[in-house]
Amino acid sequence: MSQDGIGNLVIIARQESFMGNQYTSGRLRSQGLFEQRYGLFEARIKLPVGQGIWPAFWMLGNDCTGETICDEGETLWPEVGEIDIMEYRGQDPNAIAASIHGPGYSGASPITSTFRLPDEGSFADEFHVFRVEWDPGRIAFSVDDEVFNIITTPEVTPRGEWVFDHPFFMLLNLAVGGGYVGDPDETTVFPARMEIDYVRVYERAE
- Residues with active-site annotation: 82, 87
Burial class (CB within 10 angstroms; exposed 0-12, middle 13-18, buried 19+) of 157: exposed
| DSSP codes, 121-150 | --TTSS-EEEEEEEETTEEEEEETTEEEEE
Collapsing DSSP states into helix, strand and coil, what is residue 154? helix
d(CA 49, CA 43): 18
d(CA 169, CA 152): 21
User: Are the C-beta atoms of 9 and 1 separated by less than 8 Å?
Assistant: yes
